[in-house]
Chain A
Amino acid sequence: MSSVELQHISKRFPTVAALSDVSFTVRDHEFFVLLGPTGAGKTTTLRIIAALLKQDEGSVLFDGEAVDGLTPADRDVAFVFQQYSLYPTMTVYDNLAFPLRSPMRKTPEPEIKERVQHAAEILRITHLLDRKTARLSGGEMQRVSIGRAIVRQPRIFLMDEPLSNLDAKLRESLRVELQHMQKTQGNTTLFVTHDQIEALTMADRIAVLDHGRIIQIGAPADIYDRPATTFVATLVGTPRINLFTAARENGTYFVANSDLHLPMPGDRAMPQQVQVGLRPEDVKITPGGRFTGVVALTEPLGVETILHIRSGQQTLLSILPGITPLRRDDPVRFDILHERLHFFDVDGKRV
């Protein structure tokens, strides 16, 4: 396993700048997640690391050495493709064995068999080994595609949204399985996803990518608790963070069209206009709460209930444990955890 470093990578396509000055390091044995919406440039980043695409500027380093001149075969990475990329005329077994049968690796056939079996067991596709890949379901193809990567011992695993086509149950169990595998074997993994839950649950560190630019890099807790921009704040966390524009008024921030007067942090200079972010779990429903509102909607999820509270013409979300007896139009009182308020300037930058 290796560490992988990207230095000032830029890539332009004729119509779009896919990556602009992207730099980050995936440390040895680290599970690194690249999180971003569709079109952010995640796949492009992986393809550049695998040498399937040449960057316009910048440099890729494996273990501190530039590998820009090396071919995909020489870089020795394992790639789980977004569109599976299975070999359609071969059986699942042969697909999994394909990378091991490369003359550059010279694995003896019994060992191939053992490794394929092992991978198949982890991914629960043992019963599919004799089938041709063309007629598998999307989820099955996805698993075979993951299997083809994990039979190998590459310098880094590159995974392009490998769980996106699985149903919820399987996704959850594979998430755990992949994490377990990565931790026990210490694989360096660069995992790409647009799903913030995957990112938060699996990552050692997360890089948030948007329009080809790195917005923030940090541990999941950093990303969640100290989002660098409103984009990051809204990207992570469900239900979504409450975000209001507010203006200074008598030493507080007043949210327009509402009854919300929020305290100003006293420890730094604050602008006239701000955007205030407030996570739903930091809106506490209590009988003696400072703020008042009216229940607009309840979304009972079993383990918790999402409460939509109207305050003036604004609505904010809150989370209650379990299922609440509250109904639409019931009045509620709530408190806001002051130290958990996020302030951003009008351009969305954290202040």
Chain B
Amino acid sequence: MFVRAGVRTPTHNNCDNRAACGVMTEVRTDPTIAERVAASTPEPLARRVRGLSDRAIAWAFIGPTVGLLLAINIFPLLWTVYLSFTNYRANRPNEEILWIGTRNYERVLTDPDIWAAMQATAHFVVWTIVLQTVLGFGLAWLIDRKFRGSAFWTTIILIPMMLSSAVVGNFWKFLYQPQIGLFNYVVSFFTGIDPSSFDMIGSVTLAPWAIVIVDTWMWTPYVMLICLAGLRSIPDYIYEAAEVDRASPWRQFWSITLPMALPFIMLAVLFRGIENFKMFDLVVQLTGGGPGSITELTSINLKREAFEKWRTGYSSALAVILFVAVFGLANIYVKALNRVKQR
């Protein structure tokens, strides 16, 4: 450590300011953080720092972060909660803001459009999670066989995940084209159905599945990656023990592979669940919420209410409801996850 002249290093015996100087005490108190900081700081700053208590130094370090967090996270959150009890409209800032109690919440919860959006979201979230987990785990399991070229295939499989969702939304729109789209052509190749007889994006029954398919195509690699980490964390010698103990491959899978990879799978489900609950960009690019409002997920609905219809109070109430719901679910889930991890 570089020590400037005149700055007392903590290792010196500072006899001048120790009461018990004559008696060499064996117990030496550690220098305070302030002293240590001062010792390694240029003199002008050191003079200011030296007198501070440990607690003050600690605050000086975390203060900026806490301040920033308050300003851009906590304050807007509280402000949103406040606005949800008012009739405020952001496009009419000069109008008087009226406190209207829980009327916004009543409106949100009785609005059939909201419930339709919730249903669309639930359909989307549940099916993407199910498909991505099953496919992702399956792929990870295959890749983990460590066959020749498995590293190459891993890279190939990861590509969709690396693309931007705006790009993905856009080119899947073309893939879904009834006449020229590759998707329809492939489906027709395998099933014999006329490719122009169905329209993934335009059809009310198919559009919810269209977004599920694209999201699954894009994010299965991500789930695969996490599951692969889980599978790789299982040491070989456990399988060797199982083999000596005469467990069939089937039994090894159910009693070793799956339980040991479970925390990883659950983590992937959590990440994908949170991510897809707030899904916006991909679906907007792909279907724009249509046809009608069949694929209008809550986040899209929320954006429309807030920034197209400018019902700020109303959309704040919706946002608060969504926040509480996601927060609550995530909390319960994380508790379950921790229990699984601690086995």
Contact flag A99-B245 (CB < 8 Å), given A87-B255, A87-B256, A88-B260: yes
Q: B235 to chain A: closest CB distance in Å?
A: 8
Q: Are A72 and B343 in contact (CB under 8 A)?
A: no
Contact flag A79-B246 (CB < 8 Å), given A87-B256, A90-B255, A134-B343: no
Count A interface residues, CB 8 Å: 26
Q: Are A104 and B246 in contact (CB under 8 A)?
A: yes
Segment among B21-29, B177-185, B236-244 that sits at the interface with chain A: B236-244
Q: Are A72 and B260 in contact (CB under 8 A)?
A: no
- Provide the main secondary structure of the chain B interface: helix
Q: Are A89 and B343 in contact (CB under 8 A)?
A: yes
Q: Are B246 and A52 in contact (CB under 8 A)?
A: no
Q: Are A102 and B245 in contact (CB under 8 A)?
A: yes
**Chain B hits for A79, CB < 8 A:** 240-241, 244
Q: B256 to chain A: closest CB distance in Å?
A: 6
Per-residue CB contact flags for chain B residues 156-180 toward chain A (1 = under 8 Å, else 0) read 0000000000000000000000000
Q: Are B237 and A85 in contact (CB under 8 A)?
A: yes
Q: Are A99 and B246 in contact (CB under 8 A)?
A: yes
Q: Are B238 and A87 in contact (CB under 8 A)?
A: yes
- Whether a CB of chain B sits under 8 angstroms from the CB of A66 is no
Interchain CA distance A87-B256 in the complex, whole Å? 7
Contact flag A85-B243 (CB < 8 Å), given A90-B255, A103-B248: no
- Provide the main secondary structure of the chain A interface: loop
Closest to B239 in A: A85
**Chain B hits for A134, CB < 8 A:** 343
Q: Are A52 and B260 in contact (CB under 8 A)?
A: no
Interface size class of B (residues with CB under 8 A): 10 to 19
**Chain A hits for B243, CB < 8 A:** 52, 71-73
Interchain CA distance A339-B196 in the complex, whole Å? 102
Most buried by A among B237, B245, B255, B256: B245
Interchain CA distance A193-B27 in the complex, whole Å? 47
- Whether a CB of chain A sits under 8 angstroms from the CB of B247 is yes
- Whether a CB of chain B sits under 8 angstroms from the CB of A272 is no
Q: A296 to chain B: closest CB distance in Å?
A: 37
Interchain CA distance A73-B250 in the complex, whole Å? 14
**Chain B hits for A50, CB < 8 A:** 244
Q: Are B246 and A85 in contact (CB under 8 A)?
A: no
CB contacts under 8 Å to B, within A97-156, are 98-99, 102-105, 132, 134, 148
Most buried by A among B246, B255, B260: B246
Per-residue CB contact flags for chain A residues 8-25 toward chain B (1 = under 8 Å, else 0) read 000000000000000000
Closest to B243 in A: A72
Partner of A85, one of B238, B248, B259, B260: B238
CB contacts under 8 Å to A, within B289-343, are 343
**Chain A hits for B255, CB < 8 A:** 87, 89-90, 98
Partner of B247, one of A86, A98, A132: A98
- Whether a CB of chain B sits under 8 angstroms from the CB of A209 is no
- Whether a CB of chain B sits under 8 angstroms from the CB of A26 is no
On B, residues with C-beta under 8 Å from A are 235, 237-238, 240-248, 251, 255-256, 259-260, 343
On A, residues with C-beta under 8 Å from B are 50, 52, 71-73, 76-79, 81, 83, 85-90, 98-99, 102-105, 132, 134, 148
